[in-house]
Homo-oligomer: A and B are copies of this chain.
Amino acid sequence: MTPSTSRRNMLRGSVATAALAVGPALAGTAHAAPSPGTPHVGILLYDGYSLLDPTGPAEILARLPGASVTMIAEKRGAVRTDTRDVAMVADRCIAEVDRLDVLLVPGAGNRGTLGAMNNQALLDWIRQIHRQSLWTTSVCTGSLILAAAGLLEGKQATTYWASAEYLQSAFGVTYLPQRYVHSGKIITAAGVSAGIDMALYLAYLIAGEDTARAIQLAVEYDPHPPFDSGNAADADTPLRQRALELLAASQA
């Protein structure tokens, strides 16, 4: 192997040749998967979203065969996160998008979530897209925004752990403390990082188990956090307080 061949194949490791040989067969399998063949995923950005909420699922869903992922906002252009340190680009505005296979609504801190819940143009657009979507999904407090749009009434759903009481009391939703909750064509995920687990489940629903398992390997999702403190049900009050303190302090 020459150095340049080696470089070109550096991401393929020892299976490079075999992978090329079976490419067409694999592609055939992928296209034989359940609906839709080329899923169009749209992620709604709004001022103050939390960065991992859209990007975790985007990383997963972009690997679905034939998929496209589009960041969408009320206006095109840069949309800043809750910390205001980071921005993603919305390549489309809501007026340009009238149909999606998958809609994903990320969560945010208080400011961003309230802003979206009170933005009638966004809520109207969510309702419009939901009418024809195959899947309508949320991460973290994104479920509060779906609820504000009237999509969760009488349903089971999940949300960020610290928002569970509010989701139940304000919207009559039955909160389930799960990583994700599948209710009809709506799938809600718990806080922030739970969007990754939800997206793998959605990949399974869209393209089947083999593809979902392969995507999990593609993003090397074999989580081993150094601590085990991510579940609010196991956290004592000081830990919960400190988590919310850190969030509040980081948010602009």
Whether A155 sits at the interface, judged by CB under 8 Å, is: no
Tell me whether B191 and A219 are in contact (CB under 8 A): yes
Question: What count of chain A residues pass the 8 Å CB interface test?
Answer: 110
CA distance A186 to B3 in the complex (A): 26
List CB contacts (< 8 Å) of A219-251 with chain B: 219-232, 235, 237-250
Would A220 and B230 be within 8 Å (CB), given that A55-B55, A162-B12 are in contact? yes
Q: Across the interface, which residues of B come within 8 angstroms of A230, CB to CB?
A: 216-217, 219-223
Is chain A's binding surface mostly helix, strand, loop or mixed?
Answer: helix
* Copies in the assembly, this chain: 2
B227–A216 contact, CB under 8 A?
Answer: yes
The answer to the question of A96 belonging to the interface, with a C-beta cut-off of 8 Å to chain B, is no
Within 8 A of B (CB), among A108-130: 109-110, 113-114, 117
> Could you say which residues of chain B place their CB within 8 Å of the CB of A7?
114, 117, 166, 170
In the complex, which of the residues B11, B164, B238, B250 contacts A160, with contact meaning CB atoms closer than 8 Å? B11
**A98 interfacial contact with B, CB 8 Å:** no
Cβ contact within 8 Å between B223 and A225: yes
Residue on B nearest A50 in the bound complex, by CB: B59
- Known A-B contacts A15-B244, A165-B14, A240-B15; A213 and B197 likewise in contact (beta carbons under 8 Å): no
Nearest-CB residue, chain B, relative to A8: B110
Q: Which residues of A contact B (CB under 8 A)?
A: 3, 6-15, 18-19, 22-23, 26-27, 30, 50-52, 55-56, 58-59, 62-65, 67-71, 78, 81, 83, 85-89, 91, 109-110, 113-114, 117, 140-141, 144, 160-166, 169-170, 179, 190-194, 196-197, 200-201, 204, 209-232, 235, 237-250
Q: Could you list 8 examples of A-B contacts with CB < 8 Å?
A: A6-B170, A7-B170, A10-B113, A11-B109, A11-B141, A27-B249, A160-B220, A223-B223
